Amino acid sequence: MTTTNDDIDFDFSQLDDTLISDNQKQNLIDYINQIKNQKRSISDELNQFKLSTGSITIVILKKNQTNLFILLYYLLLLFFL
């Protein structure tokens, strides 16, 4: 069984020498496509979020920086309220 599908980048010729049935092979193909579609959906959602907010900023703090960050956060809240 030789299967080609542009949506997936898996070498299906590797499955030709296995003992799994054609139905199981098709199930594997469907599963891989489902994962790729979910990945695209997540990527699309992230891109939409970026467009709506302008950017994404992820703050990574070390333990000793956390208290300083919280203090700055509250100071900014007090300043802008």
DSSP, collapsed to helix, strand or coil, labels residue 3 as coil
Q: What is the pTM of this model?
A: 0.42
What's the confidence (pLDDT) of residue 4?
45
Query: What's 12's DSSP letter?
Result: G
Nearest 5 degrees, angle CA 53-CA 58-CA 61?
150
Q: List, for residues 35-79, the tens digit of each pLDDT value.
A: 888 887 877 887 777 777 665 555 565 666 666 667 777 777 776
Summarize the confidence of residues 5-14 as an average pLDDT.
61
